[in-house]
Amino acid sequence: MASAYISNALQINFDSALGIQDNEGMLNIFKALEASGLLGFLGCPSVLYEQELEQFFDTAIIQDGDITCAVSGKYVEISESRFAGVFNLPTDGLTDLSEVPNHLVMQARTVFSRLGKPVPYSCKKRLRKYEFRLLNDILAKSITVKAGSFDAVTHERFFMMTTIHFGVKINWSKFLFEVLKEMADRTIKRAKGFAAQICVLLKGDPAVTLGEAKTFPPLKILSEKTVNTYVATKKTIDARGDADEPAEAKVAIIKKKAVSKKRPAVASDAPAVKKKRTKSGKAAQKEEALELTTVAQEAVPLHIIAPSSAMPAET
d(C-alpha 202, C-alpha 53), whole Å: 9
Does 73 reside within a domain?
yes
Residue 233 class from Cβ within 10 Å (0-12 exposed, 13-18 middle, 19+ buried)? exposed
Does 210 reside within a domain?
yes
Does 243 reside within a domain?
no
- Residues (pLDDT < 70) of the chain are 1-3, 147-153, 242-315
Question: Residue 68 CB: number of other CB atoms within 10 A?
Answer: 16
Question: Residue 50 CB: number of other CB atoms within 10 A?
Answer: 18
pLDDT at residue 159, as a whole number: 95
**How far is residue 240 from each of residues 127, 131, 233, 234, 246, measured CA to CA in Å?**
15, 20, 11, 10, 12
The backbone torsions φ and ψ at residue 139, rounded to the nearest 5 degrees and listed phi first, read: -65, -40
The backbone torsions φ and ψ at residue 183, rounded to the nearest 5 degrees and listed phi first, read: -65, -40
**CB-based contacts of 153, cutoff 8 Å, min separation 6:** 121, 122, 123, 124, 125, 128, 136, 161
Q: pLDDT by residue (tens digit) across 115-147?
A: 989 998 888 888 999 999 999 999 999 999 876
pLDDT at residue 33, as a whole number: 98
Does 252 reside within a domain?
no
Residue 93 class from Cβ within 10 Å (0-12 exposed, 13-18 middle, 19+ buried)? middle
DSSP helix/strand/coil, 168: coil
Does 249 reside within a domain?
no
96: containing domain: 2-236
Residue 21 is which amino acid?
Q
pTM of the model: 0.74
Does 291 reside within a domain?
no
d(C-alpha 192, C-alpha 184), whole Å: 8
Residue 126 class from Cβ within 10 Å (0-12 exposed, 13-18 middle, 19+ buried)? middle
Q: pLDDT by residue (tens digit) across 27-46?
A: 999 999 999 999 999 999 99
Contact 171, 96 (CB under 8 A): no
If we measure between CA atoms, which residue out of 31, 16, 7, 18 comes closest to residue 142? 7
* Beta strand extents in the chain (DSSP E only): 11-12, 47-48, 61-63, 66-71, 74-78, 123-124, 152-153, 214-215, 221-222
Structurally, the chain folds into a number of domains equal to: 1
Does 302 reside within a domain?
no
Does 11 reside within a domain?
yes
